[in-house]
Amino acid sequence: MKFLSVVRFLVIGFAFAVLTVGCAKQPVVEETPVPAQPTQVVVEQPVRAVQETPITDTSVAMTAEEAAAEARRAAAAGLQRIHFDFDRSDLTEEAKQILVNNAGLLRAAPQVNVLIEGHTDERGSDEYNLALGERRAISARNFLVSLGVGADRLRIISYGEEMPIALERNEEAWAKNRRAEFKISR
């Protein structure tokens, strides 16, 4: 409800600013007497009236929905995945820096909810990898919460080894698959 009030205020302010700028006064042309020439006559152009369109609650509600959708798109575009060391769920310094940036985006868009996906490489049993993926997602969630993101906005899921992004069977590919991803949810 507060969000709609803020959006309504911003939309009304924006409409007022547009109307104010759109109705700018015509520049005043001052006549300077010119000696030995006939007097000049300045003809002013008629000023056109701007018809104002009243803002209704439905137009504000649509704008609020559009603003929420834009916030989701912006957050989704900026949220970055983090990676983990082999058989670990603790955050590296690089992962913490990425999460600080992600937290900033999420604090700026309080209506955005996120699903944190925990992933592993293919080594290990299915059960072990599901548990490790869950621990990785929990680590990311806890760090985001410590940075001021509401825990009620963050859900977790573990996919274990089921959704690799690199299919090769080498250390470089496995390192890419040991990750947590952030997906916008409703």
pLDDT means per 10 residues, the chain with 186 residues, are: 54 54 51 52 55 54 66 74 98 98 95 97 97 98 98 98 96 97 90
What is the distance between the alpha carbons of residues 82 and 93, in angstroms, rounded to a whole number? 10
CA pair distance 150, 91, nearest whole angstrom: 19
pLDDT of residue 44: 59
Q: Could you give the CA distance from residue 16 to residue 19 in angstroms, rounded to a whole number?
A: 5
- Closest Cα to residue 180, out of 142, 134, 124? 134
pLDDT at residue 120 in the model:
98
- pLDDT confidence of residue 24: 47
CATH 3.30.420.40 fits 90-186, yes or no: no
Report pTM: 0.63
Domain boundaries, the chain: 90-186
Three-class secondary structure assignment of the chain = CHHHHHHHHHHHHHHHHHHHHHCCCCCCCCCCCCCCCCCCCCCCCCCCCCCCCCCCHHHHHHHHHHHHHHHHHHHHHHCCCEECCCCCCCCCHHHHHHHHHHHHHHHHCCCCEEEEEEECCCCCCHHHHHHHHHHHHHHHHHHHHHCCCCHHHEEEEEEECCCCCCCCCCHHHHHHHCEEEEEEEC
